[in-house]
Amino acid sequence: MTGTPTIAVDVVVSGRVQGVSFRAYAEAEARRLRVTGWIRNEPDGSVAGHFEGPQPDVDALVAWCHQGSPYATVRRVASSPAPVAGHHRFEVRY
């Protein structure tokens, strides 16, 4: 990652994304891509996340969100640029 600018995006994934291991699979994919940040369930049934890393890796994680975990049914993925917070790892938040 040295020499490559870090970007950040906030993501909201809607559909059948809670109770289907979406966060656990997203965490595994983020770690594979070396993307930092977090992901959590929201009260409205969506999943929200903050992803940081080189643009190609962050873009790949956002693209993964369109498919999600094997049992997820993703209806919508909304992403927007966000300030870089300097996360050092990726975590599931509760």
Whether the predicted model's global pTM rises above the 0.85 cut: yes
Model pLDDT for residues 26-61, shown as the tens digit of each residue: 999 999 999 999 999 999 999 999 999 999 999 999
- Reading the block at residue 75, the tokens are 């209806």
| Helix, coil or strand: residue 61 | helix
What are the sequence ranges of the domains in the chain?
19-93
CB-based burial, 17-52: b 16+ in 10 Å, e otherwise: bbebbbbebbbebbeebebbbbbebeeeebbbbbbb
- Residues involved in catalysis: 23, 41
- Provide the CATH number for the domain formed by 19-93 in this structure: 3.30.70.100
